[in-house]
Every structure is written in C-alpha cells, then in structure tokens.
Amino acid sequence: MAVLVGCFGLAGYAFYAASSLVGKAQQRVYILSSGKVLEALASDRRENLPVEARDHIRTFHSLFFTLDPDEKVISGNLGRALYLADGSARRVYENLKEAGYYDNVISANVSQRVTIDSVRLDTTSWPFYFRCYGEETITRTTSVVTRELLTEGYLSVGRSCRIGI
C-alpha cells in the first residue's frame, strides 16, 4: 500500500512539475529578426491594450491620410485603412470620393504625407475616446504646404479594433 501511495505521489509531483515547466516555456516567444534570435515575453492582453490601440490609431491615420498620385496606391491604402475602421470612416471616404478629392490628387500630381505626433487615449470608459495629433505635408509641383492634423473619435475594442470618427 505504501509503495502504491508513493507511486501516485511521485506521478502527481512529476505532472505538476512538467505542467509548470510548460507554462513557463509558453510565456516566452522567440523572434527571428535579421538573422538574430530575440526573446520576448508573452503578457496579458490588458497590459498591452493601450499600446496596441495607439498603434491601431496610428496605422489607420497613416493609411487614410497618406496619398500618392497613383490610383492603385490610393485604393490599396484606403482599403486597408477602411478595414481598420467602422462605417463612419467609410462615409468620410465616400464623401471625399464623391467630391472628387482623390481624382484631384491624381490629376494635380499631389503627394500627401502624414506624420503622427501623439495619440491621447482614454481607456477609463468604453468605447475608448481618442484624440490624434499630427502633421500633414502636401507636396504639389509648385509648393509644399504643412498643416496641423487633429482628429478625434472612439475606438471600439473587441476581438479586433474598430475606429469611429
């Protein structure tokens, strides 16, 4: 009887030790970058949520407001930007398209670049309110104009993020 209890005890300890070792191993992620292996630690989604939300907002603004005088580039960037947003961004896009804004960019050979300075994000209430500060540089054949860009809206965070402007 003692041998049987000892075997079960030893098997239980081995199971506990193996599962804790597997748990620790799953917390580590290895990334291959330029031929070098980098170690990263996995963390809870809540810890990274503000960082991920700010990056989501930056990516959307970069794709939506950076335009080149090429119809394929514009439609590609706007398609990816609209994937990151809800119907409100699509309405803004359709209004600009209907007004001929994108056709004017192409015909006038205008390049538009946006640089995001900062993103303020309020994560205390849902949906998250954001305010994005940036600078928009419009390059024409005859001049370069720099404007301040300020947008605000709400970010709905679920399994994926959606921006509402």
Structural domain boundaries in the chain:
2-41, 45-164
Global confidence as pTM: 0.72
Tell me the per-residue pLDDT of 87-127, one tens digit each, with 9 for 90 and over.
Answer: 899 999 999 999 999 999 999 999 999 999 999 999 888 88
Distance between CA atoms of 102 and 84, rounded to whole angstroms?
20
Distance between CA atoms of 47 and 127, rounded to whole angstroms?
17
CATH class of 45-164: alpha beta
Structure-token pair, residue 141: 């054949």
Task: Provide the pLDDT confidence category of residue 130 given band limits of 50, 70 and 90.
Answer: very high
Residue pointed to by tokens 């098997």: 11
Distance between CA atoms of 98 and 13, rounded to whole angstroms?
69
Question: Is residue 61 within 8 Å of 80, Cβ to Cβ?
Answer: no
Which pLDDT belongs to residue 119?
A: 96
